[in-house]
Structure 1
Amino acid sequence: MQEIKISNGYIQLWASYLRSRQIDPLHADFLKDFKEQLQGLIDQPFDIQVPLQLLNNVLLSTRQHLDCPQLIFEIVQEIRPEHFGVLGYMASKSSSISEIIGYIIRFQRLVVDGSDLIPFQLRQHEQSVELYWAFLEERYNVLNELTIAAMVQLGRFILQEQPLLLRSIHFAHRPEIAVIHFQKFYATELKFSQPHYALELDVQGLNLKSDQADPMLLQLLIRQAEGEIAARPQLESTLQHAQRLIADHLRMHQQALKIEQLAEHLLLSIRTLQRKLAEQGTSFKKLLEQERVKRCDLLLQQEISLSEIAEQLDYSDQSALARAYKAATGRTLLQHRKQPKQDQR
């Protein structure tokens, strides 16, 4: 499993903020524990990959030293396209917000990368669109907060005098600082402890134009971005990605993922998804049952009734769970539940 890596642009953005306050990130006493790591990154290219933990550490130390709970919102005031590297320049040279969103979805690996990466998805509503992605772990909370704030501020920078037309911002975790700081920065509806992170934009805002649009330069940047993505190692096969998404959905939502939802998450048509799984000798139905059985094995070790397990695995009732489990493993649920007790004697 490849840990999440982030673009050096995040470190550069943080360093720009410190310098705006006449603080040298390489000589500040409160950052001395990170000096060796920072020396190899400060003033280096934005596309260098940085461990996420370093960003978490320096932001925490800075927030504590400056006694600044709203640090993230102050940092992003320094945002410029170059902090997102090639993707940032592409955004600044795009012709509309709609085009920018398309490039963010397509090239997000240039900014945040790793096998834990959850791809951005787009959901259409009647009067708005939602750019959303799933919650992973608490250690990614700061990265998600900084990324959302940076995207919003960069959008404002690109549009200049035009409003971004935000409808709402969704956070999968609870706020760790006073909500008033979020309200002051976003000036829109905020929702916390949601199933996913999301930026919701009014459909009227999708066609907002940038005065900096440059179609010819944009084509060159797209080719550069495609080359950088192609040079990176493949993260997960379609099969591995599908298995993880199905398992995560069972764990987080206690519902079986539908094939339409899986195809949408993978940015594939249903037919293409079926073909790719068939090439690997499996199918969506087989994958779903395999992940249900794995989850069932874990739940059987806990003090949970069989009817509760059936509900958590999205079976109609306990009998349906029992039949599916016997068909998949050749054992009954009671035989498996007794097994750990026999092993402990």
Structure 2
Amino acid sequence: MQNTAIVNSNQLQLMVQFMQQRQIALSDVFDSEQLALVTSACTGQQISHVPVAQFVLLLEQLAHYLNDSTIGLSIAQGINTANLGILGYLLHACENMGEALLRLHRYGKWINNEMEQMQIIQQGHQIELRWPQPKPLNGIMHELGMAILQQFSLQLVGRSLNINHVYFAHSLKGGAANLQIYEQFFGCAVLFDQPYSVFSFPANILNIPIEKPDKALLDILQQQAEQALNSMPSTDIFLQQAQRKLIELCQLGEPTLPQLARQLHLSSRTLQRRLMQHEVSFQQLLDEVRQQLCRQYLHQHVPLSDIAQLLGYSDQSAFTRAYKRWTGNTPLQQRRLKH
């Protein structure tokens, strides 16, 4: 089955770099399975990309450990060119911010494949970078991504940018005190619970020259970026849409294939055929969605009876049986292992 949301291992390296600077031991925050994932990603020996859901869980655990709900901003402050790999060097070699933005739009999904959903919209003298998915579950990823965009832009041009506003589709954590942190970081108004996640700035920023551009290096790096893009694990917008609809259906009870087909405006037969083309069954797709949601709910200490309901199970015993099939443990045993 194809991954529907992945992030480059460079992002894990940025997180580890942040922890090392603060002398935080990985073993104090992550369990043995997560340690193995982080180690493999940071050495680059086994994996180049990891599922976004796993990275989000790592970030949430670190945020909980530090009692820092603005962890994305904190991590992004340490960004450097190497943290973005080929893309970072490619952007530095561009002539101006407009050229860099086009390269980001083309190759950004090498860092996080949800970047391919980014829309560049010009409204008069303003430019909006917009992510159209409503109320994303991974708000912490949007905060990290926006913060990286802000910090790396400063490095590209060597001075502050006059950003108009930043919008997030998810809710603010921490109240008014945290809102002030966001507004100080971005230097503009920041709003939450918006229809889209948006990074807005004046169009004349596109003309700002990049410090020390290199046309010859740009051509070489662009070839490397194309190769990196082609070697990425593949993704498919159809599976992303199907997973999002399943998340909604889980809140209404046990999802069925006909229900999902109606949500996607397909016949049941067409949906089955599309899933077969992606080498995944309806049950496998549903299990993956439930497992991703379950990890988040367990980490957030949601009562097990509520988790069962949120995942669309008829009762807690059905949820327990499914969880044991996935992991070999019951949800209660898993919680005890974490303590």
TM over 0.5: yes
Counting only pairs closer than 5 Å after superposition, residues 151-170 of structure 1 correspond to structure 2 as: 151-160=149-158, 162-170=159-167
User: Structure 1 158/120 Cα, relative in aligned 2: closer, same or farther at 3 Å?
Assistant: same
Q: Name 1:331's counterpart in structure 2.
A: none
Query: How far 1:10 moved relative to its partner?
Result: 1.1
Equivalent position SS for 2:53: helix
Query: Does the CA-based 8 Å contact 1:6-1:111 persist in structure 2?
Result: yes
Query: How far 1:117 moved relative to its partner?
Result: 6.5
One-letter amino acid of the structure 1 residue matched with residue 22 of structure 2: R
Query: How far 1:29 moved relative to its partner?
Result: 2.1
Query: How far 1:61 moved relative to its partner?
Result: 1.7
Query: Does the CA-based 8 Å contact 1:118-1:134 persist in structure 2?
Result: no
Task: Supply the distance in 2 between the matched residues of 1:186 and 1:293 (Cα, whole angstroms).
Answer: 37
Query: Does the CA-based 8 Å contact 2:170-2:194 persist in structure 1?
Result: yes
Q: Name 2:173's counterpart in structure 1.
A: 176
User: Structure 1 54/61 Cα, relative in aligned 2: closer, same or farther at 3 Å?
Assistant: same
Query: Does the CA-based 8 Å contact 2:5-2:235 persist in structure 1?
Result: no
Task: Supply the distance in 1 between the matched residues of 2:202 and 2:17 (Cα, whole angstroms).
Answer: 32
Query: How far 1:218 moved relative to its partner?
Result: 0.9
Q: Name 1:32's counterpart in structure 2.
A: 31
Query: How far 1:209 moved relative to its partner?
Result: 1.1
Query: How far 1:51 moved relative to its partner?
Result: 1.9
User: Structure 1 42/230 Cα, relative in aligned 2: closer, same or farther at 3 Å?
Assistant: closer
Alignment RMSD? 3.2
User: Structure 1 188/137 Cα, relative in aligned 2: closer, same or farther at 3 Å?
Assistant: closer
Counting only pairs closer than 5 Å after superposition, residues 47-196 of structure 1 correspond to structure 2 as: 48-113=48-113, 118-135=116-133, 138-160=136-158, 162-177=159-174, 178-196=178-196
Task: Supply the distance in 2 between the matched residues of 1:163 and 1:195 (Cα, whole angstroms).
Answer: 27
Identity of aligned residues (%): 19
One-letter amino acid of the structure 2 residue matched with residue 56 of structure 1: V
User: Structure 1 31/46 Cα, relative in aligned 2: closer, same or farther at 3 Å?
Assistant: same
Q: Which of 284, 291, 294 is the aligned partner of 2:265?
A: 294
C-alpha distance after superposition, 1:187-230 (max 9, x if no partner)? 11222222221211111211111223111111111111112223
Task: Supply the distance in 2 between the matched residues of 1:81 and 1:221 (Cα, whole angstroms).
Answer: 13
| TM-score after normalising by structure 2 | 0.65
Equivalent position SS for 1:139: coil
| TM-score after normalising by structure 1 | 0.64
One-letter amino acid of the structure 2 residue matched with residue 73 of structure 1: L
In structure 1, runs of 5+ residues without a counterpart are: 252-289, 298-345
Query: How far 1:152 moved relative to its partner?
Result: 0.8
Query: How far 1:53 moved relative to its partner?
Result: 2.5
User: Structure 1 201/106 Cα, relative in aligned 2: closer, same or farther at 3 Å?
Assistant: same
Task: Supply the distance in 1 between the matched residues of 2:105 and 2:58 (Cα, whole angstroms).
Answer: 28
User: Structure 1 19/235 Cα, relative in aligned 2: closer, same or farther at 3 Å?
Assistant: closer
Instruction: Tell me the matched-pair count.
Output: 248
Q: In terms of Rg, which structure is larger? A: 1
Query: Does the CA-based 8 Å contact 1:4-1:117 persist in structure 2?
Result: no
Task: Supply the distance in 1 between the matched residues of 2:14 and 2:151 (Cα, whole angstroms).
Answer: 12
One-letter amino acid of the structure 2 residue matched with residue 167 of structure 1: N
Query: Does the CA-based 8 Å contact 1:9-1:46 persist in structure 2?
Result: no
Equivalent position SS for 1:22: coil
C-alpha distance after superposition, 1:250-289 (max 9, x if no partner)? x9xxxxxxxxxxxxxxxxxxxxxxxxxxxxxxxxxxxxxx
Query: How far 1:118 moved relative to its partner?
Result: 5.0
User: Structure 1 124/78 Cα, relative in aligned 2: closer, same or farther at 3 Å?
Assistant: same
User: Structure 1 23/225 Cα, relative in aligned 2: closer, same or farther at 3 Å?
Assistant: same
User: Structure 1 45/182 Cα, relative in aligned 2: closer, same or farther at 3 Å?
Assistant: farther
Query: Does the CA-based 8 Å contact 2:5-2:51 persist in structure 1?
Result: yes
Task: Supply the distance in 2 between the matched residues of 1:56 and 1:293 (Cα, whole angstroms).
Answer: 27
Query: How far 1:291 moved relative to its partner?
Result: 8.0
Bigger relative CO (Cα 8 Å, ≥ 6 apart):
2
One-letter amino acid of the structure 1 residue matched with residue 154 of structure 2: R
Query: Does the CA-based 8 Å contact 2:166-2:199 persist in structure 1?
Result: yes
User: Structure 1 184/117 Cα, relative in aligned 2: closer, same or farther at 3 Å?
Assistant: closer
One-letter amino acid of the structure 2 residue matched with residue 146 of structure 1: L
One-letter amino acid of the structure 2 residue matched with residue 198 of structure 1: V
Task: Supply the distance in 2 between the matched residues of 1:10 and 1:218 (Cα, whole angstroms).
Answer: 23
